[in-house]
Amino acid sequence: MHDAEPVNPQRVFWELSPRLPDECILSCDSGSAASWYARDLKIRRGMMASLSGTLATMGPAVPYAVAAKFCHPERVVIAIAGDGAMQMNGLNELITIGKYWKEWSDPRLIVLVLNNRDLNMVTWEERVLAGDPKFEASQTLPDFPYADYARSLGLDGVRIDHPEAIGPAWDRALNADRPFVFEAITDPDVPPMPPHITLAQAKAFGSSVLKGDADALGFLKQTLKEIASNFVPHKK
Ligand SMILES: Cc1ncc(C[n+]2csc(CCOP(=O)(O)OP(=O)(O)O)c2C)c(N)n1
Ligand SMILES: [Mg+2]
């Protein structure tokens, strides 16, 4: 696991995995989170987990979590979403959670938000599939205080922006007495890479750099670290 600016999103999932409560229910949105959900969460027997796959629409993570809470109020539910999905509908769903959570026998519903100020999955598709640089006008998102907003609704939340804070923040979220927004400020330059990439994808990636991607320096650094980590002994 390598460092990133300020937080490697993969580390957020890596720290969560061993802490996942028995019989928890996970719902993961479409976006870069899908890569880390697939790579870094070890789902155990008795849990339930859904990913917005197939048509891969954005937006289901938080409403699925609300539905899960109504079906299984005694189980811990964890929704995983990007900031784009939260700005689409997840923030509104927090109002619904604020309305109903006191009815649930176990009030723990955690929403993990990857705050990277980017529609990151598609930014990477532009680079790796189309060979284009990030199109700033459509891809960049405004910052938003997700955890503060949750607290304004009577929920709890934390915004973390350094790696040492991740583990303690998960412990806090998983022991909260109410729904909790775990907001992680994550690095959009960490490539949500599958285990293997094709030659065509590598060429397109190179072309996005040559065409002047504004973030090229940052993501080249992170990509090289990721490649190098495949050749050196792994450390946590
Ligand atoms: C309704 C909908 N609109 C657009 C898309 C295309 N799309 C897939 S992932 C993605 C970006 C997601 O951004 P965000 O939620 O911020 O997550 P990130 O990839 O940044 O972690 C987009 C625009 C989609 N799948 N569904
Ligand atoms: Mg995002």
Ion ligand 2 — residues with CB < 5 Å: 82-84, 116, 118, 120
CATH fold of 9-229: Rossmann fold (3.40.50)
The structural domains of the chain, with segments of one domain joined by +, span 9-229
Is residue 210 classed as helix, strand or coil in its secondary structure?
A: helix
Task: Decide: 187 in ligand 1 pocket, CB within 6 A.
Answer: no
Hey, whose CA ends up nearest to atom 17 of ligand 1? 82
Task: Decide: 56 in ligand 1 pocket, CB within 6 A.
Answer: yes
Beta carbons within 10 angstroms of residue 215's beta carbon: 19
What is the spatial distance between Cα 124 and Cα 128, in angstroms, rounded to a whole number?
6
Q: What is the pTM of this model?
A: 0.94
Task: Decide: 31 in ligand 1 pocket, CB within 6 A.
Answer: yes
Pocket residue to mutate for ligand 1, from 30, 91, 116, 117, most atoms within 8 A of Cβ: 30
19's CB contacts (< 8 A; 6+ apart) are 170, 171, 174
pLDDT value of residue 198: 83
Written as one letter, the residue type at 1 is: M
Q: Check whether the bond before 6 is cis (ω within 30° of 0).
A: yes
pLDDT value of residue 230: 65
Which portions of the chain are predicted below pLDDT 50? none
Task: Decide: 60 in ligand 1 pocket, CB within 6 A.
Answer: no
